[in-house]
Amino acid sequence: MYRISSYSSSSSSIFIRRLLFIASFVGAIFFVPLHAMAHQAPYTAVFLDVSPDRVGAEFQIPLTELELAFGHHITADPGTLLERLGPQLKAYLLLHTHTYKNKALPWAVNITNMVMSKEQQIASGPPFWELRVNVMLVPRQNEDTRRFMLAYDGVVHQVINHVIFVAVRNDWETGRSDSLTSRSDPMTIRIGSDNKVHPLEINIEKGNLWSGVKNMVGLGMEHIKTGTDHLLFLLVLLLPSTLVVKSKRWAEFGGVKYSLKRLLKIVTAFTVGHSLTLLLGATGVFVPPSQIIEVLIAVSILVSAIHALTPIFPGKEYYVSGGFGLIHGMAFASVLYNMQLYGKILILSILGFNIGIEMMQLFIVALVVPWLILLSRGKHYSIIRVTGAIVAIIASVAWIIERISGRPNVVSTNLQPIFDQGIWFIIGLACIAVISFLYQKRRRHAFI
Amino acid sequence: MLANAKNWSNLPVSLASRNGLEFSSLSSTQLAAALAVIKASAGTGYSMEGYEKFQTIRAADDYLGTMQSGYGSGNYFIAFLGTPSATGNWMLQYGGHHYAANIMFNGGTMVSITPLHEGVEPHTGFTVNSVTYTNPLTNNVTGMQNMLGSLSSTELSTAKISGTFSDCLMIPGSTTNTMPTVKQGIQVSTLSATAQATVLAAMQPWINDVDSTQAATIRAVYKNELADTYVCYASNTSAVAGTPSSFLTAATDYVRIDGPSVWIELCCQNGIVIQNQIHYHTVMRDHSRDYLGL
């Protein structure tokens, strides 16, 4: 039930955001360099994932502060803490976590996961440990989750100067998503002017099912739009799709009908693949470690890029795109899984999210394919195909290294801003296509 | 301007930027001029207080800098908020990692000397650049120890608050960070005359960190309000009643003086750069004078 986590890039970015936030809290900061993190972050962060029928909460509690309230010298050997004192910690947290609309009718509180998270400080000094706890808060029948009291006083019941920052990380109905940054104005739980700790009222604007599904569609679209790796995979896979193979090499344009048929099959196979794992992952049936998935996604780009250079699996693109679809789907699933959704809401979310992914994917295919068809008729298409494949190979290798080592490298950091301008790439492609089309037409006219 | 005024911190400069000019960016002439302003404001009337304390706290950062990057006497700042004048309202800020002075002037007189943050690591004396220093907060710590040591065991149990402090309560920043209106601990008027005198004496090492003539009014206010002032403390588990040196010796040992106006707290924390020993954080505030006029 308990596991020691080795966190990947997503949680380290949370840590950086957190440090930024803490530093800015202390001083209304305009500029915070990220070096020299000599001081530990002594605050608790509580993130709320609000869905219509329940509220997921994630507590991130610094161990040095927790020790002052919980005792047991827990900072001495944090690595084995959950094996030794898991049940006691769970009991402690349950004692200090209550939610209700009506104090006499408290909500059900269940701890669903506890992990120890170790962040290496960049500056010298001891590693920074925190306990991360996922809690599920379930309202009474006929009660909604828009307005309730959060009576959580972990650590702060004992450590008088301790501060708990609370942010609504996900709100399913309205799409609200607060982060703990220098610009956010988070809610706090801390000692009041009467020297007592009071419950915090969470009061979120009303939304509805329809706006919730719409948000999920938007989230799906956003995920493809900003997910450079998914986009690059798709584009590289499409790059040779209009060509026929002759003597184990990419040869000439296979015709419009041939191209469209192949494109349709590739895109459909990818969709079937990622829909399947999205369903399995979001429902929690199969949740592989995110780091492995991220590495495999980069590998999928590398393989398709090599295939764009020289056909390594001609005629079997559907299996490959379907297979890699399975992997990309697992990454999509982690987005939903982390929102802690259940039942009807989860099904609606998977549906909406997948529709969003599909819409964005088709939009991009529609944006790129006409130019690919135009260009691949020409003799010089191989220049574009090979250039595109080489860029993708460089990027994917850089990502593989980054995702295995957990550290950004020169290539990956410099490529990102270029990829962020992806729309210019498509416009450029369109311009080249139109110019070369007109040029060829004129030459044909000249011969007549 | 209030938002700017609240931009002070107890974090290393690399984590929390300060207002104004950084000492390390100044020429030697400019630095001398900046230090002259601070010297005039902090005063030189008391040994180990005022300007001397400011300079020793800076030296302690040089000492930490020999062990870990990011610390040093050059990482200190001076800032003027508003236009300095002999008639108008303006504010002088100076400090860095373990020092933050926020001084309001009106009509050429100091009207507020708070918030004031002072801290030091290590908790002992130290030698850096071939100069040996006594710990700059010696008077502050000793004053508080004498105050707690003057209380009987019954008075101590009244003064004790049950929670734990990992730092001072009135940490910098945040507008939600307001002082408790309900005072905790033991009221000074219930103490013996000797003990009452130790409370007044314990406040002086903070008040003495600004020019004594300028601080006279504020000093008088705190003295007049002494009877309605409260003393409380937390942790100090190894303390023995009547033995001053047994107080404020371990991490989380905490003491507070909370009056109608004055608020002073001192907390022993675990070492940050030097592990396995404590270091001191202190904050002085004023219930009605912080950022006065802002």
Kindly determine whether residue A32 and residue B15, on different chains, have CB atoms separated by under 8 Å: yes
Task: Please list, in sequence order, all residues whose beta carbon lies within 8 angstroms of the beta carbon of residue B246, skipping any fewer than 6 positions away.
Answer: B149, B236, B238, B239, B240
**How far is Cα B236 from Cα B254, in angstroms, rounded to an integer?**
7
Kindly determine whether residue B17 and residue A160, on different chains, have CB atoms separated by under 8 Å: no
| Cβ(A8)–Cβ(A294) below 8 Å | yes
pLDDT attached to residue B68: 87
3 state SS of B67: coil
Whether residue B191 is found in the same domain as residue B267: yes
Band (B209; pLDDT cuts 50, 70, 90) = very high
- Is residue B293 included in any domain, yes or no? no
Whether residue B129 is found in the same domain as residue B165: no
pLDDT attached to residue B16: 64
Residue A389 has, within 13 A of its CA and on its CB side, a CA count of: 20
Q: Using a CB-CB distance cutoff of 8 angstroms, which residues of chain A are in contact with residue B69? A: 36, 123
Number of Cβ within a 10 Å radius of residue A257:
8
Interface A–B counts its CB contacts (< 8 A) at 110
Place of tokens 């004055």: B262
Q: What is the DSSP string of A310-341?
A: S-SSTT-HHHHHHHHHHHHHHHHHHHHHTTT-
Q: CA B122: distance to chain centroid?
A: 16
pLDDT tens per residue across span B117-155: 999 999 999 999 999 999 999 999 999 999 999 999 999
- Helix-helix angle A228-238:A317-337, to 10 degrees: 170
pLDDT attached to residue B294: 65
**DSSP-assigned beta bridge partners for residue B131:** B128
Number of Cβ within a 10 Å radius of residue B138:
17
DSSP β-ladder status, A44-51 and A164-171: parallel
Length of chain A in terms of residues written: 448
Q: Which of A22, A67, A160 to mutate to test the interface with B (most CBs of B within 10 A)?
A: A160
Helix (H) or strand (E) holding B132: strand B131-133
Whether residue B154 is found in the same domain as residue B216: yes
- Is residue B25 included in any domain, yes or no? yes
- Is residue B281 included in any domain, yes or no? yes
3 state SS of A116: strand
- Is residue B34 included in any domain, yes or no? yes
| Cβ(B118)–Cβ(B168) below 8 Å | no
Amino acid at A273: G
- Is residue B294 included in any domain, yes or no? no
Out of B8, B184, B275, closest to residue A195 by CB: B184
pLDDT tens across the length of chain A (448 residues): 333 333 333 333 333 333 333 333 333 322 222 222 334 457 899 999 999 999 999 999 999 999 999 999 998 889 899 999 999 999 999 999 999 999 999 999 999 999 999 875 544 456 788 999 999 999 999 999 999 999 999 999 999 999 898 999 889 888 888 877 655 668 889 998 899 999 999 999 888 888 889 989 998 888 888 778 888 888 888 888 888 888 788 888 888 888 888 888 888 999 899 999 999 988 888 888 888 899 999 999 999 999 999 998 888 888 888 999 999 999 888 888 878 888 888 999 999 999 999 898 888 888 888 888 888 887 788 888 899 899 999 999 999 999 888 888 888 888 777 777 766 777 787 788 778 777 777 766 655 4
| Cβ(B253)–Cβ(B235) below 8 Å | yes
Q: Domain total for chain B?
A: 2
Whether residue B247 is found in the same domain as residue B154: yes
Q: Using a CB-CB distance cutoff of 8 angstroms, which residues of chain B are in contact with residue A126? A: 275
Whether residue B281 is found in the same domain as residue B175: yes
First to last CA, chain A: 77
Q: What is the ipTM of this complex?
A: 0.90
Averaged pLDDT for residues B85-100: 91
Averaged pLDDT for residues B175-185: 80
Out of B7, B267, B270, closest to residue A27 by CB: B7
Among the candidates B99, B133, B167, a domain finishes at B133
Kindly determine whether residue A36 and residue B179, on different chains, have CB atoms separated by under 8 Å: no
**How far is Cα B164 from Cα A9, in angstroms, rounded to an integer?**
35
**DSSP-assigned beta bridge partners for residue A130:** A62, A117
Averaged pLDDT for residues B27-38: 97
Kindly determine whether residue A193 and residue B178, on different chains, have CB atoms separated by under 8 Å: yes
pLDDT attached to residue A41: 53
Q: Identify the domain containing residue B124 by its residue range.
A: 2-133
Burial class (CB in 10 A: 0-12, 13-18, 19+), A178: middle
Kindly identify which residue of chain A lies nearest to residue B2, measuring between CA atoms: A28
0.80 exceeded by the pTM?
Answer: no
Out of A32, A38, A68, closest to residue B68 by CB: A38
Among the candidates B102, B133, B164, a domain finishes at B133
Whether residue B277 is found in the same domain as residue B148: yes
pLDDT attached to residue B51: 97
* Tokens found for residue B261: 């106006």
Out of B10, B15, B176, closest to residue A37 by CB: B15
Whole-number Cα distances in Å, A442 to A155, A434, B244? 77, 12, 99
Nearest C-alpha neighbor of A294 from the set A321, A334, A323: A334
Q: Residue B47 has what DSSP assignment?
A: T
Q: What does the domain layout of chain A look like in residue ranges?
A: 3-207, 210-447
Whether the predicted pLDDT of B226 surpasses 60? yes
Q: Using a CB-CB distance cutoff of 8 angstroms, which residues of chain B are in contact with residue A190? A: 176
Whether residue B196 is found in the same domain as residue B65: no
Whether residue B147 is found in the same domain as residue B124: no
Question: Could you tell me if B272 lies within 8 Å of chain A, comparing CB atoms?
Answer: yes
* Tokens found for residue A397: 């290798």
